[in-house]
């Protein structure tokens, strides 16, 4: 296992911690108290639950990346998890580009971060492994 592959997985884990923190700020950043009020209680709940589940996913991915990085690199199961993590971020990038204007600065920054998140896992998957 090469150090740059391990560093790449660790970078992905750190980024997942950042994504979790970012999602925990969503209610305040996007003023959900006011903006979700027009929605019926079911749709309000769905938005909040989806965000909390996504936050949990990011924390789980961070844990796998930071605690089990070597196993992700050295086992067949780990390699498949790396591929799934990269695919998640490529899907997120594709959705970003299809739902939001790519010319807006925030959208471009997020797209770059999604691509970096995907690369953190795609690189050791494509160029590493057991």
111 inside domain: yes
Domain hosting 92: range is 3-125
The helix or strand, by DSSP H or E, that contains position 102, with its residue range, turns out to be none
94 inside domain: yes
> What total of structural domains would you count in the chain?
1
CA distances to 43, 50, 56 from 12, in Å: 31, 22, 15
> What confidence tens digit (pLDDT) does each residue in 96-121 have?
999 987 788 999 999 999 999 999 99
pLDDT of 1 > 70? The answer is no
130 inside domain: no
Q: What is the pTM of this model?
A: 0.94
CA–CA distance, 125 with 130 (Å, rounded to integer): 10
Under a CB-based contact definition with an 8 Å cutoff, are residues 86 and 121 in contact?
A: yes
Mapped onto helix, strand or coil, the DSSP state of residue 75 is: coil
> What confidence tens digit (pLDDT) does each residue in 6-57 have?
999 999 999 999 999 999 999 999 999 999 999 999 999 999 999 999 999 9
CB-based burial label for 88 (10 Å; 0-12, 13-18, 19+):
middle
> What confidence tens digit (pLDDT) does each residue in 73-94 have?
999 999 999 999 999 999 999 9
Q: Where residue 2 falls among pLDDT bands split at 50, 70, 90? A: low
pLDDT at 129: 58
Under a CB-based contact definition with an 8 Å cutoff, are residues 64 and 72 in contact?
A: yes
């Amino acid at each position: 296992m090469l150090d740059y592959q391990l560093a790449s997985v660790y970078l992905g884990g750190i980024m997942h911690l950042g994504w979790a923190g970012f999602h925990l700020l969503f209610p305040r950043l996007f003023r959900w108290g006011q903006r979700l009020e027009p929605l019926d209680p079911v749709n309000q709940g769905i938005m909040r639950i989806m965000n909390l589940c996504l936050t949990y996913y990011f924390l789980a991915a961070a844990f796998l990346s930071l605690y089990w990085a070597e196993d992700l690199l050295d086992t067949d199961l780990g390699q498949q998890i790396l591929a799934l993590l990269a695919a998640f971020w490529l899907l997120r990038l594709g959705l970003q580009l299809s739902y939001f204007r790519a010319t807006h600065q925030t959208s471009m920054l997020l797209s770059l971060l999604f691509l970096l998140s995907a690369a953190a896992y795609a690189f050791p998957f494509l160029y590493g492994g057991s």
